[in-house]
Amino acid sequence: MKAAVHRFAVDDVKLKLGIAISERDDAELENILSEAAELGLDETECAEVRDASALFSIISEARHVMCGGIANVDIATIQRGIALAASVQYTGGEVARATELESKIKSTLEKVETALKSVKRSDIEVAMKAVQDINLKGKRVQALTNLYNLPRDKFLQHQLKLIMKTADVKRVTYITISIKSLFFRDFEAMFAIDNYSRLRSPDEYCRSAVLASKKKKERLRLGMLTHSVEALPTSLTKLGDKEKVKEALRMFKSLQQYMGDKPGMYPTTIAEELVQTALVDVELRDELYMQTVKQLRNNNSVQSRRLGWDMLEWCLSSFPPSPELENHLELYLRKHAPHNCVGKTEEGEEVKKLVWMMHERVRMGAVKPKFPASQSGH
C-alpha cells in the first residue's frame, strides 16, 4: 500500500515537474524539486528532476545576474542576464524590468554620445537629465558630467576648440560671439570706439584745420566722432599718405550725401562707390567704418540714422574691419545696433545681426558687395 502511494506521489511530482518545465515557472520548479527531494528522487535516477534542476539553476543565475545589473545600472551585466534567460526561453521575473532598463540605457548612451559630439548645450542638458533619471555611471557619462559642470567661459572655449575642427562656420561664429560676450563683460571700457588705436587724437584732428578759428578748432576737437554736416579737416584714422587722406575726405562728402546730410543724387550708386573704394584699398576700410560711426553718433535725424545703419550693414556684408578695429566696432554694434537688427541663431539665442555679419566677414574675408534691403526702422 505504501509503495503504491509512493509511486503515485512520484508520478505526480514528475507530471508537475514536466508542467513547470514547459511553463518555465521557476517558483513552481523550486517547490516541486523540494517535494522530489522529500520523496528521495535525485538527478541520477530521474530525468525529470535532472532537467528541472538544470533549468532552475540557469533561471536562478539569470535572475541573479539581472538583479545585479538592474541595481548597478550596468548594461553589460543586464545583457548577460537577459541572454541567460533567453537561452532557456525564460521570460518571467526580472526579464521585463531588465529589458526596459537596457532600452533606457541604450537610449541614454546615444544621447550622451550625441552631446559629446555636438557639444551643444541643449543636447548636453537632455543627456544629463536622461543620465540622472536612471542614475547611469561610466567613463562617457563622467566626461559628459565634467563638460556640463564647466564654467561658461571654459565651456565655450572647449566648444570652440572642437567645432573649429569641423566645417560648421555658423557654429564657430555663434560660439565666438558667445565668448566675446563674456570678454566684453570684463573689458568693455578698453574697447570703447574712441579708444581705437589708429584713430587720430582729437588735438591732431583739430590742428589740421589750419585756417579755422580757435573756437571752431575746439568744436572740431570735441566733435571729432560726432555727427556733422561740415567737411572733415583730415581723415579720422591715421593713413599712409596724403592721397589717401584726400580720398578719405571725398569719401566723407559722399557719405554725407548718401545719408542725406548734404544734397546728392542716386544714394544707392553713392553707397556702392563707397564700398567699392574700401574693397580696393584695405587701409580705407576702417576709415569708412569710423566715418559712418561718426555720422550715427548724436544724429537727430531718424532718416539719416536709418541710412547710416544701412551703410554699416552694406560694409559689414562686404569686408571686415581690421584686427585693430574689430573689438571696438563689435562692442559699438552690440551696444547701439537698432532693435530690429536682432536675429536668432540656430542655438535659439538672440544676437545682433550686424555682429553676426561682422564675424562672418572676419572669418571668411571680403566678398563682392550686395546692397542690403532698406531697414526702414533703423
The pLDDT of residue 28 is: 85
Kindly state whether residue 103 falls inside one of the protein's structural domains: no
Question: Does one domain contain both 227 and 284?
Answer: yes
d(CA 168, CA 321): 23
Question: Does one domain contain both 183 and 194?
Answer: no
Kindly state whether residue 374 falls inside one of the protein's structural domains: no
d(CA 288, CA 311): 10
Kindly state whether residue 220 falls inside one of the protein's structural domains: yes
Task: Name, in order, each residue with C-beta under 8 angstroms of 38's C-beta and a sequence gap of 6 or more.
Answer: none
Crossing angle of the two packed helices 353-364 and 169-187, in degrees rounded to 10: 110
The pLDDT of residue 171 is: 80
Q: Long-range contacts made by residues 77-84, C-beta under 8 angstroms, separation at least 24?
A: 78/102, 78/105, 84/58
The number of domains in the chain is 4
CB distance 296 to 309 below 8 Å? yes
Question: Does one domain contain both 56 and 124?
Answer: no
Q: Other C-beta atoms within 10 Å of 114: how many?
A: 14
Question: Does one domain contain both 358 and 235?
Answer: yes
Residues of the chain with pLDDT under 70: 1-6, 340-351, 370-378
**Tens digit of pLDDT for each residue in 15-42?**
887 888 888 888 888 888 888 888 787 7
Domain termination site, one of 139, 162, 187: 187
Instruction: Give the chain's mean pLDDT.
Output: 87
Residue 343 has φ and ψ, to the nearest 5°, of -130, 175
Question: Does one domain contain both 73 and 210?
Answer: no
Kindly state whether residue 376 falls inside one of the protein's structural domains: no
Question: Does one domain contain both 231 and 250?
Answer: yes
What is the span of the domain harbouring residue 136? Answer: 109-149
Question: Does one domain contain both 60 and 89?
Answer: yes
Question: Does one domain contain both 66 and 126?
Answer: no
**3-state SS class at 351:** strand
Kindly state whether residue 375 falls inside one of the protein's structural domains: no
Kindly state whether residue 104 falls inside one of the protein's structural domains: no
Question: Does one domain contain both 302 and 322?
Answer: yes
Kindly state whether residue 300 falls inside one of the protein's structural domains: yes
Kindly state whether residue 98 falls inside one of the protein's structural domains: no
Question: Does one domain contain both 160 and 197?
Answer: no
Question: Does one domain contain both 183 and 195?
Answer: no
Question: Does one domain contain both 225 and 316?
Answer: yes
Question: What does pTM read for this prediction?
Answer: 0.66
User: DSSP letters of 309-350?
Assistant: HHHHHHHHTT-PPPHHHHHHHHHHHHHHS-GGGEEE-TTS-E
The pLDDT of residue 337 is: 87
